[in-house]
Chains A and B, each alone.
Chain A
Amino acid sequence: MIKLKTPISEEEIRKLRVGDTVLLSGTVVTARDQAHKLMIEEKPDFVRDDLRESVIYHCGPVVRKDDKGEWHFVSAGPTTSAREEPYQAEVIKEYQVRGVIGKGGMGARTAEGLKNYGAVYFHAVGGAGTLIANAVKKVKTVYKLDEFGTPEAFWVIQVEDFPLVVTMDAHGGSLHKEIMEKSSKIADELIHQI
């Protein structure tokens, strides 16, 4: 089990390998489809400081506002990352992001980006909404809430011991590719035999 805390240096991130289990603490920013589109089309500055050497989280949370007007995460597991494939590598470069958290893995373009700019893809446990929300200790701020709505807004959160597995590293390794190839071979054999 490796403990990581943001800000994360390029050197630290390059040490990680596919299959490593990580507990992440520090600043994480949620971003889904609309947020990624905005970061590419308009390259806004308001998230720049929060994202530098930090981590993006593909997540559309369930949130609650308390009587004092403060936000809390109620359930916040990962969403499918593949939808951000057209944008991810460029966002990593533009904002010097060190990691992306999601589920299902990403494609070749992102893999290239991870290698070139020094970042990794962390896989969270899909469906573990309540547990991950409990690892969110604080909602620091939120951007574009009115415009994008709850699931699509940029939520800047402070996390503690967020459980993750590195499934794509900064050296071109991808667990997703590996498992896809292996399981495909077994499936082909089974389909042939029966």
Chain B
Amino acid sequence: MDLKTPVLELIRKASSDLPPDVEQSLKLAQAGEEKNTPAWNVFSTILENVQMARKQSTPICQDTGSLVFYIDYPEGGLEREYKKAVSAAVVEATNLQYLRPNAVDPVTAKNSGNNLGVNAPYFHFNQWDKKDIRIRLMLKGGGSENVSTQYKLPHSSLGAGRDLIGVRKLVIDAVRNAQGLGCAPGVIGVGIGGTRDISYTLAKEQLFRKIGQRSESGELAQLEIKLYEDLNKLGIGPMGFGGKTTALEVFIGSQHRHPATFYVSISYMCWAFRRKTLHIINGEVSYDD
């Protein structure tokens, strides 16, 4: 079947149509701010922008990010075929201005102009038992990626040990250091454990969750709630202008670690939390947030 057309639509939606759960949480955040303060005004601008982008099919933010595709496919599917179709859709989406050319060769400093390059887009493949295809897309902005960070426990200057209390301290420190730079209010993905690279990956994967979707682990769900409260006490506010909302949500995941290591990674997602999912079930195409 033709995969390019539905993927092009997936990209258009991701870039221009903010998920309703995110929009709702931005509205709630505004209701918590005092009227006509800079923080309140930021939310007005953000919400108006979100509606305009949806109506005009134009990018919510001009930084359409790095493209991260997670593809689940059935037995008999060919990764190279998916890659080919998705890449073709990416090139066309760039031509249609759904995406800004964002793939730069670090050696030659040349922008490829079409968003294709080595590990651009980034693909993660998973063959599953179902007969369906699921393609999840995240647009990860550069500004928010720049404030993402990794720690290892124990951390002596923060007095953080190798436990969940230690993790809590690190996340507070990371968000304090980020200030408004990742286009606060942010959604904070946290990955605990694993090697350095997989720790970052786990943190980013948390960002496929919807606002309000708690971790299945009771301890982590507890920590998510506590951290959400902690972070919103910092007073950084939207854009770092000061205010009551610094984080929209905290998602935490964990995985086994080597006895000698204890990495904690923080993937900061800006308020322009762009993710969409494409399902192909019995040849029927549908979209989800």
A-binding residues in B (CB < 8 A) = 16, 38, 41-42, 45-46, 48-49, 52-53, 56, 58-64, 97, 100-101, 111, 141, 143, 146, 158-160, 165, 168-169, 172-173, 175-176, 179-181, 183, 230, 233-237, 239-242, 270-272
Indicate if the CB atoms of A103 and B49 lie closer than 8 Å.
no
Query: In the complex, which of the residues A79, A187, A190 contacts B63, with contact meaning CB atoms closer than 8 Å?
Result: A79
Q: What's the least CB distance linking B159 to chain A, in Å?
A: 7
List the 3 closest A-B pairs by CB distance, nearest first: A131-B49, A126-B183, A75-B62
Interface-located stretch among A7-15, A89-97, A110-118, A173-181 = A173-181
Indicate if the CB atoms of A130 and B97 lie closer than 8 Å.
no
Chain B residues near A130 (CB, 8 Å)?
A: 16, 49, 52-53, 56, 58-60
Beyond the given A103-B183, A187-B176, A192-B159, could you list 5 further A-B residue pairs with CB under 8 A, ordered by the A residue number? Answer: A80-B143, A126-B239, A127-B271, A149-B111, A194-B230
Indicate if the CB atoms of B52 and A165 lie closer than 8 Å.
no
A105, CB-defined interface residue at 8 Å: yes
Could you mark each residue 153-184 of chain A with 1 if its beta carbon is under 8 Å from any beta carbon of chain B, else 0?
00000000001010100000001101110111
CB-based nearest B residue for A189: B233
Query: In the complex, which of the residues A60, A127, A151, A175 contacts B241, with contact meaning CB atoms closer than 8 Å?
Result: A175
Indicate if the CB atoms of A127 and B61 lie closer than 8 Å.
yes
Chain B residues near A165 (CB, 8 Å)?
A: 38, 41, 239, 241
Indicate if the CB atoms of A129 and B53 lie closer than 8 Å.
yes
Chain B residues near A191 (CB, 8 Å)?
A: 158-160, 169, 172-173
A142, CB-defined interface residue at 8 Å: no
A6, CB-defined interface residue at 8 Å: no
Query: In the complex, which of the residues B53, B59, B181, B241 contacts A167, with contact meaning CB atoms closer than 8 Å?
Result: B241
Indicate if the CB atoms of A123 and B49 lie closer than 8 Å.
no
Indicate if the CB atoms of A128 and B49 lie closer than 8 Å.
yes
- Distance in angstroms between the alpha carbons of A76 and B63 in the assembled complex: 9
- Distance in angstroms between the alpha carbons of A186 and B62 in the assembled complex: 33
A16, CB-defined interface residue at 8 Å: no
Indicate if the CB atoms of A129 and B41 lie closer than 8 Å.
no
Indicate if the CB atoms of A74 and B241 lie closer than 8 Å.
no
Instruction: From known contacts A130-B59, A149-B111, A191-B172, infer whether A62 and B64 are also in contact, taking CB-CB under 8 Å.
Output: yes
Query: In the complex, which of the residues A21, A61, A125, A132 contacts B239, with contact meaning CB atoms closer than 8 Å?
Result: A125
- Distance in angstroms between the alpha carbons of A29 and B108 in the assembled complex: 27
